[in-house]
Amino acid sequence: MADQNTDVVIPQAEVDAFKKDFESITDEVHKVIVGQDEVVKATLISILADGHALLEGVPGLGKTLLISTLSRVLDLEFSRIQFTPDLMPADIVGTNIIMEKADGTKYFEFQRGPVFTNILLADEINRATPKTQSALLEAMQERHVTQAGTTYILDKPFFTLATQNPLEMEGTYPLPEAQLDRFLFKIMVPFPPADELAEILIRTTGTHVPDPHKVVDGPRLLEMKSLVRQVPIAHHVIHYAVRLANATHPEIPGCPSIVKQFGRIGSSPRGAQTLVLAGKVEALLNGRFNVAFDDIRKVAMPALRHRIIMNFEGEAEGIETDDIVAACIKEVPVREKGSTVEV
């Protein structure tokens, strides 16, 4: 198998511009968002890798504020859907309504829903029923929606950035596995430490309201996404990503013992694709022109944690999917048996 894009030569100036824009975006976001460096970085990586992100955390941690701030800094059209148990699919996609011409004849006209935007905030997505949650599947995967047999193309770029509360909270519904798999990253939003919480109080209880400015726009964001796709990745690094994703499957020989004991279903092929795409973003952020093993390791946790299903014993023992991914990162070798490729 030939190496991917190994003949591509990326100018140093483009890599430098990519890093500078990424840093400028994060700096501007941090005018509003205190701390949460890894959350901000992971969310941006998912966007630049042309994927959707699911942010999970208890209420009040700034998940919604982060996404709305990103839309302003990226100068993108923004829509918000507050998911509730009575939300219907038509409230997301849109619906045909009866209109009347001047001569009295009637016709149907499609009224577009909030999904027709650049950044769609699906707020508290797991408070809606599975039927409504699944209304996003076509938009997330195909970047279009179908209503009454007619297909409508979404504008570019299009990202779904969803928030959800922990499943243990009352009134939540687990996302269907097929929809979870459409999210490039699942990002855990932790409670802030004391010093960051103090800074949050200072910023949010005074008279000054932070005002983030636009850093890039839609066309520049598309250029950055295109550059990510051009980053070369060597044959042996692709195979490391494959082995890492395969190690989450309990039926595959050589998987970690924790996977064999507590895992039921491992990562889909989208998980391996995510390792490669997000690894390319990491490479650019580190000023490199090719993907390294360490780039794959850095993105493995948010790329794989939501694509693993525990068996009954694992759930009973309280084993988390993060434990599975951590074991795979630790135990899967970076080189195949007999290979001379070093880390």
The answer to whether residue 133 scores a pLDDT higher than 80 is no
Within 10 A of 88 (CB to CB), how many other CB atoms are there? 13
**Per-residue pLDDT at 337:** 63
Q: Which of the four pLDDT bands, split at 50, 70 and 90, describes residue 340?
A: very low
168: β partners:
none
For 245, the enclosing helix (H) or strand (E) is: helix 235-246
Alpha-carbon 203 to chain mean position: 28
Condensed to tens digits (0 to 9), the pLDDT of residues 166-204 reads: 765 666 777 888 888 999 999 999 888 899 889 888 888
Looking only at the bridges linking them, the beta strands covering 119-123 and 78-82 are parallel
Condensed to tens digits (0 to 9), the pLDDT of residues 282-313 reads: 999 998 888 999 999 999 999 999 999 999 99
The answer to whether residue 321 scores a pLDDT higher than 90 is yes
* CATH of segment(s) 231-335: 1.10.8.80
The answer to whether residue 55 scores a pLDDT higher than 60 is yes
**Per-residue pLDDT at 339:** 52
Alpha-carbon 210 to chain mean position: 26
pTM (two decimals):
0.86
What SS3 state is found at 108?
strand
Q: What are phi and psi of 70, to 5 degrees?
A: -60, -40
**Cα–Cα dist 75/214, whole Å:** 6
Q: Which of the four pLDDT bands, split at 50, 70 and 90, describes residue 209?
A: confident
**Per-residue pLDDT at 170:** 64
Cis, bond preceding 114 (omega within 30 deg of 0): no
Structure tokens at 10: 């990326």
**Cα–Cα dist 172/191, whole Å:** 20
Average pLDDT, the chain: 86
Q: Tell me the average pLDDT across 6-27.
A: 85
**Cα–Cα dist 225/124, whole Å:** 27
Helices (H), 120-193: 130-133, 137-142, 177-182
**Per-residue pLDDT at 8:** 65
**Per-residue pLDDT at 341:** 46
Structure tokens at 81: 């859907």
**Per-residue pLDDT at 40:** 92
The answer to whether residue 1 scores a pLDDT higher than 50 is no
Contacts for 178 with CB less than 8 Å, ≥ 6 apart: 134, 137
The answer to whether residue 278 scores a pLDDT higher than 90 is yes
**Cα–Cα dist 55/186, whole Å:** 6
Q: Where are the domains of the chain?
A: 19-85+117-205+212-229, 231-335
Q: Tell me the average pLDDT across 90-102.
A: 83
109: β partners:
97
Q: Which of the four pLDDT bands, split at 50, 70 and 90, describes residue 5?
A: low
Q: Tell me the average pLDDT across 36-60.
A: 91
Mutual orientation of helices 269-285 and 235-246 as an angle, nearest 10°?
130
Contacts for 102 with CB less than 8 Å, ≥ 6 apart: none
The answer to whether residue 35 scores a pLDDT higher than 60 is yes
**Per-residue pLDDT at 247:** 94
Would 19-85+117-205+212-229 and 231-335 be classified into the same CATH topology? no
Q: Which of the four pLDDT bands, split at 50, 70 and 90, describes residue 325?
A: very high
**Cα–Cα dist 86/83, whole Å:** 8
Condensed to tens digits (0 to 9), the pLDDT of residues 211-222 reads: 888 888 888 999
Q: Tell me the average pLDDT across 10-22.
A: 89
CATH class of 19-85+117-205+212-229: alpha beta
**Cα–Cα dist 263/163, whole Å:** 26
**Cα–Cα dist 295/241, whole Å:** 10
CA distances from 154 to 46, 121, 145, 258 (A): 19, 15, 8, 42
Structure tokens at 159: 């990202």
**Cα–Cα dist 172/166, whole Å:** 8
- The tokens 């996609």 sit on which residue? 93
**Per-residue pLDDT at 90:** 85
**Cα–Cα dist 166/188, whole Å:** 10
Closest CA to 321 of 244, 239, 264: 264
